[in-house]
Amino acid sequence: MTQTFNEMIDGGSVRAAYQSLEKWQNEMPADLRQMKQSEAEALFRRVGITFAVYGEGGDPERLIPFDMFPRVFTADEWRKLDRGIRQRAAALNAFLADVYDQREIIRAGRIPEHLVTHNEAFERAVVGIRPPRNVWSHIVGIDLVRTGPDQFYVLEDNCRTPSGVSYMLQNREIMMRMFPHLFVENRIAPVDGYADALRHTLASVAPKKCDGEPNVVILTPGHFNSAYYEHSFLADLMGVELVEGQDLFVDGDFCWMRTTEGPKKVDVIYRRIDDAFLDPLCFRADSMLGVPGLMNVYRSGGVTICSAPGAGVADDKAIYTFVPEMIRFYLGEAPILENVPTWQCAIPDQCKYVLENLGDLVVKEVHGSGGYGMLVGPKADKSQIEAFRAKIEEKPWNYIAQPTLSLSACPTFVEEGVAPRHVDLRPYCLVGDKIELVPGGLTRVALNEGSLVVNSSQGGGVKDTWVLAE
């Protein structure tokens, strides 16, 4: 593994982006730091922002650790990311519009057909429909890692319902309350326009049949869902109703919301439930979370569902390999952001390489998420590697492998003071009548020394993410 890129200190000197924070850190007494840290925790507890961790026993609802040391991007650094993310979001949407229509990219031989249509996320039910503005993924979460001053890689795309944006907003809110002077001394691009931009994006994809101000709602599976806090938080910020399946019903050409003043038509549903549970008359018949008949209303143009059912076919880890190809094919542009080189275990030659080099690679399940079911070769012992070898040999198509990237590290408050810890970044790109990206995102940090796993379920924390204004 190569040298870790430290985002604050490069070759002994402090990088431009971190000049003022270095001073702030040095001047902060240890007791003040501890006081601020408990203050931050109290604030997080008060707003009730929790996440769920499965498979570890104990109370699954807990606070996500917040690290007060911000992560900083200069305007120059962000400009490239911004262009690259928008480009990727546009290509992913073009791909979705294509694979549910003419499948030009498959006809052109640029993506193997079976990866797309013989894929669990491919929805037969939406073939041939054209959602408003032909947008399929309205909120695209793109996970990025950095390995050098100018080297960023896209780790994965999230086209369904990427979560975590409430942390981006709350981390900023809490930093501003605790350290207001930092926001006076530094020109930091605001992120609080996200809720308005999301509301605008959702309203902009209202169906043609909607006349007047579109009625937008957020559909949640309910309070037992690990991201329920985020659902209610976003509904509050946007000033829209937070509903569960039982609050909605289908009648005639439309979907309606029960209110004390009688039924109110719903035009746009930002759903935070999976395709399979959306409508028991179309997908899983045993789903109690969805709205019976909703897919018929959607498919006949009476309501818009965001993200579109079937959007998951674009963010599969096997499809991921082809996103640069999508950018070239649909946009006629060179990809601005690079993919991590990926080996598909479904392809025998590549699988052979993976099995021979398990100790150096990261192996992931094609449909896995959240850091569950993955192997980090260099951190694994012999028995873990052998267990994974057996799994790959049994179901090769279920796995992909990537080199172990040396994720960049950012200064992070730890027991002994400040130390570098590995980070990633998830910005949230909005696609509607235009493509919008607030300057920032969610930085996740692997709090355990040397760890490369930033998932909150695996000992990860979060940081406020700054983009310095020009």
Partner 1 sequence: MKLSVSHITRYNFDIPVRRLIQSHRLVPSRCANQRVITWEVNMLQATRGAAFRDGAGDWTETVSVQGPLDAFEIEVTGEVETTDYAGILKDHREKVPPSAYLTPTARTWPSQPLREAAEETLSALEGKPTLEKAHALSTVTAERVEYMPGETEHYTTAAEAFDLGKGVCQDQTHVLIALAQLSGIPARYVTGYLFSASEDHMSEASHAWAELYVEDLGWVGFDASNGVCPDDRYIRLGSGYDAQDASPIRGMVTGGGGERLDVRVKVREGGVEGQQQQ
Alpha-carbon distance of 386 to 401, in angstroms, equals 15
Interacting residue with partner 1 among 249, 277, 353, 397 (CB under 8 A): 249
Q: Which stretch binds partner 1 (CB under 8 A): 274-282, 330-338, 344-352, 407-415?
A: 274-282
8 Å CB contact between 337 and 382: no
Q: Which residue, 286 or 381, has its beta carbon nearer to partner 1?
A: 286
| Residue whose C-alpha is closest to residue 101's, from 129, 131, 121 | 129
Q: Which stretch binds partner 1 (CB under 8 A): 135-143, 247-255, 359-367, 450-458?
A: 247-255
Q: How far is the CB of 130 from partner 1 (least distance, A)?
A: 11
Q: How far is the CB of 336 from partner 1 (least distance, A)?
A: 31
Q: How far is the CB of 106 from partner 1 (least distance, A)?
A: 8
Alpha-carbon distance of 213 to 7, in angstroms, equals 45
Alpha-carbon distance of 441 to 194, in angstroms, equals 10
List, in order, residues 6 or more apart from 180 with CB less than 8 Å away. Answer: none
* Residue 164 interacts with partner 1 (CB under 8 A): yes or no: no
Interacting residue with partner 1 among 58, 212, 252, 262 (CB under 8 A): 252
* Residue 250 interacts with partner 1 (CB under 8 A): yes or no: yes
Q: How far is the CB of 158 from partner 1 (least distance, A)?
A: 22
In DSSP notation, 449-467 reads TT-----GGGTEEEEEEEE
Q: Which residue, 162 or 293, has its beta carbon nearer to partner 1?
A: 293
User: Any long-range contacts for 31-36 (C-beta under 8 Å, 24+ apart)?
Assistant: 33/68, 33/413, 36/68, 36/178, 36/179
Q: Which stretch binds partner 1 (CB under 8 A): 144-152, 250-258, 315-323, 429-437?
A: 250-258
Binding-residue total with partner 1 (CB under 8 A): 34
Quick one: how far is CA 108 from the chain centroid? 30
Q: How far is the CB of 222 from partner 1 (least distance, A)?
A: 18
Q: Which residue, 79 or 209, has its beta carbon nearer to partner 1?
A: 209
Q: Which string of b and e fits 101-140 if b means at least 16 CB within 10 Å?
A: eeeebbeeeebeeebbeebebbbebbeebebbbebbbbbb
How many degrees, rounded to 5, is the angle at CA 18 between CA 451 and CA 442?
Answer: 50
* Residue 14 interacts with partner 1 (CB under 8 A): yes or no: no
| Residue whose C-alpha is closest to residue 172's, from 314, 43, 348 | 43
State which of positions 291-350 bind partner 1 (CB under 8 A): 292-293, 296-297, 299-302
* Position 123, amino acid: E
How many degrees, rounded to 5, is the angle at CA 153 between CA 150 and CA 158?
Answer: 140
Interface mask toward partner 1 for 116-145; x: CB under 8 A: -xxxx-x-xxxxxx----------------
Helices (DSSP H) in 28-127: which residue ranges? 30-47, 75-99, 104-107, 113-117
* Residue 44 interacts with partner 1 (CB under 8 A): yes or no: no
* Residue 280 interacts with partner 1 (CB under 8 A): yes or no: yes
Q: How far is the CB of 124 from partner 1 (least distance, A)?
A: 5
* Residue 208 interacts with partner 1 (CB under 8 A): yes or no: no
Q: Which residue, 171 or 287, has its beta carbon nearer to partner 1?
A: 287
* Residue 469 interacts with partner 1 (CB under 8 A): yes or no: no
Q: Copy the structure tokens of residue 412.
A: 């992070």
Number of Cβ within 10 Å of residue 9's Cβ equals: 14
8 Å CB contact between 240 and 294: no
* Residue 394 interacts with partner 1 (CB under 8 A): yes or no: no
* Residue 432 interacts with partner 1 (CB under 8 A): yes or no: no
Q: Which residue, 188 or 294, has its beta carbon nearer to partner 1?
A: 294
Q: Which stretch binds partner 1 (CB under 8 A): 30-38, 48-56, 173-181, 251-259?
A: 251-259
In DSSP notation, 25-36 reads HHHS-HHHHHHH
Q: Which residue, 24 or 249, has its beta carbon nearer to partner 1?
A: 249
Q: Which residue, 128 or 212, has its beta carbon nearer to partner 1?
A: 128
| Cis preceding linkage at 307, omega within 30 | yes
Interface mask toward partner 1 for 73-112; x: CB under 8 A: ---------------------------xx-x---------
Q: Is 11 exposed, middle or buried (0-12, 13-18, 19+ CB in 10 A)?
A: exposed
* Residue 183 interacts with partner 1 (CB under 8 A): yes or no: no
8 Å CB contact between 95 and 105: yes
Q: Which residue, 280 or 324, has its beta carbon nearer to partner 1?
A: 280
Q: Which residues bind partner 1 (CB under 8 A)?
A: 100-101, 103, 113-114, 117-120, 122, 124-129, 249-254, 280-282, 285, 292-293, 296-297, 299-302
